[in-house]
């Protein structure tokens, strides 16, 4: 009788520990996040003019509402190539998320961006895609590629690599 009670108590403790462990790994929503990236941008004019590219910095932050959807904002700037200097970019995006594994996600972004170069300021529809990998429960590394502007006479793209912190 004592062995059955001891076995039942041990099983209950192990089950409670497993449930606590599974609950500790589960994300609670909504979940805010913030990040910083190195942003490798490229301004590519149509026609004979040569493209301009440089490296700037980008801050991003957002709110993830469930494991499949978030809203995100970008604020970036810096870098110059000849007469072209990126003063700032600011944008807001819907983010669709595809969880591939518990620690790895692919995502797509779509929204609007305003970009201010020292020679011009434009705004328009933007889109991109990326991936994130968790290195800890709150910290992930990520990379994405964005087409920030697609105008009749030029395109403005950026590839970014950086860190995200989830609260």
Q: Of all residues in the chain, what percent carry a pLDDT higher than 70?
A: 84
- Three-state DSSP state, 68: coil
pTM for this prediction: 0.81
What tokens were used for 14? Answer: 């192990």
Residue spans of alpha helices (H) in the chain: 2-25
- In this prediction, residue 16 carries a pLDDT of 47
- Range 59-72 average pLDDT: 97
Q: What is the rounded CA–CA span in Å between residue 18 and residue 3?
A: 22
Q: How far apart are CA 73 and CA 91, in angstroms?
A: 6
- Give the CA diameter of the chain: 89
Q: pLDDT tens digit string along 119-155?
A: 889 999 999 999 999 999 999 999 999 999 999 899 9
Which comes out higher in pLDDT, residue 99 or 120?
99
**Is the domain defined by 28-166 classed in CATH 2.40.160.20?**
yes
Whole-number average pLDDT of the chain: 87
Distance CA 53, CA 41 (A): 5
- The beta strand positions in the chain, using DSSP E, are 31-45, 52-64, 69-77, 80-81, 84-101, 104-117, 120-134, 139-150, 154-166
Rounded to the nearest 10°, the torsion over CA 148, 104, 140, 18 is 150
Q: Regarding beta strands 80-81 and 84-101, do their DSSP bridges make them parallel or antiparallel, or are they unpaired?
A: antiparallel
| pLDDT, tens digit, 9 for 90 and up, residues 69-78 | 999 999 999 9
């Amino acid at each position: 009788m004592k062995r059955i009670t001891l076995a039942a108590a041990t099983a209950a403790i192990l089950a409670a520990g497993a449930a606590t462990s599974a609950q500790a790994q589960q994300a609670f929503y909504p979940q805010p996040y913030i990040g910083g990236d190195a942003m490798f941008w490229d301004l590519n004019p149509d026609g004979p003019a040569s493209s301009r590219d440089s490296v700037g910095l980008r801050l991003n932050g957002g709110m993830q509402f469930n494991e499949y959807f978030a809203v995100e904002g970008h604020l970036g700037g810096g870098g110059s190539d000849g007469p072209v200097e990126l003063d700032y970019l600011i944008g807001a995006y819907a983010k669709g998320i595809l969880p591939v594994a518990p620690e790895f996600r692919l995502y797509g972004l779509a929204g609007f961006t305003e970009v201010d170069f020292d020679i011009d300021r434009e705004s328009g529809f933007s889109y991109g895609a990326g991936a994130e990998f968790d290195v800890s429960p709150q910290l992930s590394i990520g990379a994405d590629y964005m087409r920030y502007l697609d105008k009749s006479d030029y395109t403005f793209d950026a590839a970014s690599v950086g860190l995200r912190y989830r609260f």
